[in-house]
Amino acid sequence: MIVNLKNPNLYNNRELSWLQFNTRVLRQAQDESLPLLERLKFLAIYGTNLDEFYMIRVAGLKKLFTGGIIISGADRLTPLQQLREIRKYIHQEQQVVEHCMKDVLKKLEHQGIFIKSHRDTNQNEKNLLKKIFKEQIYPVIIPIAIDSTHPFPQLNNLSFGLIVKLKDSDDETIERSGIIRVPRVLGRFVELGKGIYVPIESLIAQHVEDLFPGHTLIKYAAFRVTRNADLEIAEEEADDFMELLEEGLKLRKKGELVRLEVGIHSDDEIINFFNRHANIYKDDIYQTQTFLNFSALWQIVSNKDFAHLLPAPFKPRVLPPLDTSEDIFATLESQDILMYHPYESFDPVVQFIQTASKDPEVVSIKMTLYRSGTNSPIVQALMSASESGKQVTVMVELKARFDEENNLIWAKALEKSGAHVIYGIQGFKVHAKATLVTRRKNGKLKQYAHLGTGNYNPATSKIYTDMSYMTSKDEITSDLTRFFHFLTGFSKKGKLDELYMAPTQIKPKILSLIQNEARKGAEGHIIAKINSLVDADVIRALYKASQAGVKIELIVRGICCLRPGIEGVSENIRVISIVGKYLEHPRSFYFKNDAVQTYISSADWMPRNLVKRIELLTGINDEAARDKITQILKLQCSDNTLAHELQSDGSYIKVKKEEAEKTVNNHKIMEDFVIKVSKATTKENSPSTSELISRLFIES
């Protein structure tokens, strides 16, 4: 029987699949086996994720709907249908979120952490709060009357404050309304001594009469607004892209209102007053029974006095041969290096660039920067290299969402140091992660490369899992030279020989690799680890491979539009998502019958990555590195602690350990593994290859 692989019933909706991912984050917060502040941390992540989802995805769907555009993905849901399903999902989940929050907060009280409203504090605490209000809050708070002579103010994206209803103290028949804006320079919680936190709106409400003299408070509610934060930049009309981006960042604060959140004391009267001015659709208004802005919970999670309520910290290790290497360039001439962060430290990557910046024999450094973070040692090294006379070329992607402002700062600093800075390719984001160092050796030029699946950000490298590949192979470095020439020049071909570059090469290569396994039938085997799987052509290729009998194991952290387990279509496909201590971020692949077999990439299997971005896919020919990637992928496929398995109906079920099985928590196994390797290695007995590493992976 021939199956129509374009049938919309074979595809999960992208947005609803993302909501399922955020639910898996929420499940971590519900997991009673985790330390309490770890659970609170996942609530903070859940809230931050949902903020971005509304700012970008929901805002985009609203724009499509109001524009009368009926487009959809392979599932064929219209923008309006998606908006209805999204609102229904989030409203239903809100009760679960609030129950989880109350449970965590109640248990934290037994550990000495309290979130108290002003009325629940004792007299000494009230006296201290009064002093804090007078000295730290009153001078910067913004009370705003709203009437015929005081218009409703412009509220920036994620603005937080209080809606208040007041009565005239001299004439109680006169009622007035207003809002109190709480500037972001004020913390979400006022901290009283060790472990006592008071939501700032609770304190401000006690002093409303100081802010509106001659009036008495009738009622109040906290509010928070979300705006469309997606930047639209007409690059083809831009004479100065940096100036255009800076203007876009200002407009982001004033985008269309897409969500209103209101706090515990809200009622219809307060909401209707606010919404007469804001005009937010009723189903995009969320009333909470806890408090607003879960992302602010980081203020509590980061309290070092309660670090014992977090998982034991893990210190990344530098493994052989880099642990004893005094000359990184000589090491890369003798062998390739593949590192798995954060278990293996990101420090060697930083040191590679720092060493290159100081080495008098290095003549040039070329690099892509997508999200480098603040106070970046890598950018500082690049600036030093440029100032010392080296040729430094940096592709700073100014369109990295929510990092645009940070990247603007770095771009200007690099330019000032004398580096040649490229701001992007018109019509594309540059998402590839690559560094190329050119050095004199014995009168000739020798090149060294780093290719990664994640950003050049030492801070996030401690919490994101990613892979780094370092090599001096001429075939790789020659391709990277051409890659950087493509970025700085006008070439539209962009074809590489050993590497594969999107938008022209990666998707055809992925399809070819899948089709090659399909030709092998039951002898075929694919393992793919990605963050998101959306591209319909890739999904159909996987369906065909499954129909041919290929065993397909997919590790997809977030969005997955493919539906496994459908008879005659995808019964040979298994999809798991791993959510745990670390954010799973690598894109790595295993194709059993390919000559190279293993690959790493900066690209997810989404249309935006495969056809709308500049990305790189790297084949790993080195035997030890190839074995290492294969072992990591197989380890994750066997996880029965952190994994959730995707069902054919789009839902996820936590993978349960069978009674006879060993417990497999891939994060814990990897931590134990690198500790074991580092202890087994001494300066006198340091392996020159990764043989020991591969063997210990198998043992683990």
Cβ-proximal residues to 277 (8 Å cutoff; 6+ apart), any chain: 146, 152
Ramachandran bin of 56, using left for φ above 0, alpha for ψ from -120 to 50, beta for the remaining angles: alpha
Residue of 207, 215, 341, 431 marked active site: 431
Question: Are 8 and 82 contacting, i.e. CB atoms less than 8 angstroms apart?
Answer: no
Helix, strand or coil, per DSSP, at residue 430: strand
Asked if 431 is an active-site residue, the reply is: yes
Q: How far is CA 2 from CA 7, 78, 537, 547, 692, in A?
A: 12, 27, 18, 11, 49
Sheet containing 215-227: order of strands: 142-146, 175-181, 160-168, 215-227, 257-262, 285-287
CA distance between the termini of the chain: 44
How far is the C-alpha of 111 from the C-alpha of 195, rounded, in Å?
9
Strand partners, 257: 227
SS (H, E, C) 11-45: ECCHHHHHHHHHHHHHHHHHCCCCCHHHHHHHHHH
Question: Are 398 and 408 contacting, i.e. CB atoms less than 8 angstroms apart?
Answer: yes
How far is the C-alpha of 384 from the C-alpha of 380, rounded, in Å?
6
How far is the C-alpha of 177 from the C-alpha of 182, rounded, in Å?
17
Question: Are 597 and 517 contacting, i.e. CB atoms less than 8 angstroms apart?
Answer: no
Burial track 61-75 (b if 16+ CB lie within 10 A, e otherwise): bbbbbeeeeeebbbb
Question: Are 181 and 142 contacting, i.e. CB atoms less than 8 angstroms apart?
Answer: yes
| Residues present in the chain in total | 700
Q: Name residue, tokens 């399809």.
A: 511
How far is the C-alpha of 136 from the C-alpha of 131, rounded, in Å?
8
Q: Residues with catalytic annotation?
A: 431
